[in-house]
Amino acid sequence: MSDKKILNFKIKKLKSSGKTHSEIAEVLNCSKNTVYNSERQRRRQANKLKLINMLGGKCVICGYNSCSAALQFHHTDPKKKHFGISDNYTNDFEKLQQEVKKCVLLCANCHAEVEYGVTTFSTLTKIESMSN
């Protein structure tokens, strides 16, 4: 296990025992920012997983679902986009849910193909109609 994972595990354990950020930082001899960032990273990952599940848990084009890090949110209508999802996982979860409703879930490869025009949403519509 890496040093970072060990530190994150210790932070999580101390946090669950009721310690404050300052107390954890003192016990582990690290900065409060290190403690805060560990918590933030865990919250971001939990929120991303909830949002992924909300959109079906897999790429709508190819069905990929092996690694959440490779799944991305694509706004179907850029005019309706208020903010990017990936930059705001720690925002108010209700706002994230509203924004995600304007998206489809794509794997990184399919997302790149959509962005570069290799795959279009007319292709996506054909794929969806074939699967119904």
In this prediction, residue 131 carries a pLDDT of 44
In this prediction, residue 130 carries a pLDDT of 43
Could you give the residue ranges of the DSSP H alpha helices within 1-132? 3-16, 21-28, 32-54, 93-100, 108-115, 121-131
**Angstrom distance (rounded) from CA 31 to CA 51:** 31
**Angstrom distance (rounded) from CA 55 to CA 100:** 8
Q: Model confidence over 60-106: pLDDT tens digits?
A: 999 999 999 999 999 988 889 888 777 776 668 888 899 999 999 99
In the predicted structure, residue 10 carries a pLDDT above the cut 80: yes
In this prediction, residue 132 carries a pLDDT of 41
Report the predicted TM-score, pTM, of the whole model to 2 decimal places.
0.71
**Angstrom distance (rounded) from CA 73 to CA 32:** 32
Q: Model confidence over 35-49: pLDDT tens digits?
A: 777 877 888 888 899
Q: Which of 73, 65, 80 is nearest to 47 (CA)?
A: 73
Please tell me which residue, 112 or 30, carries the higher pLDDT value: 112
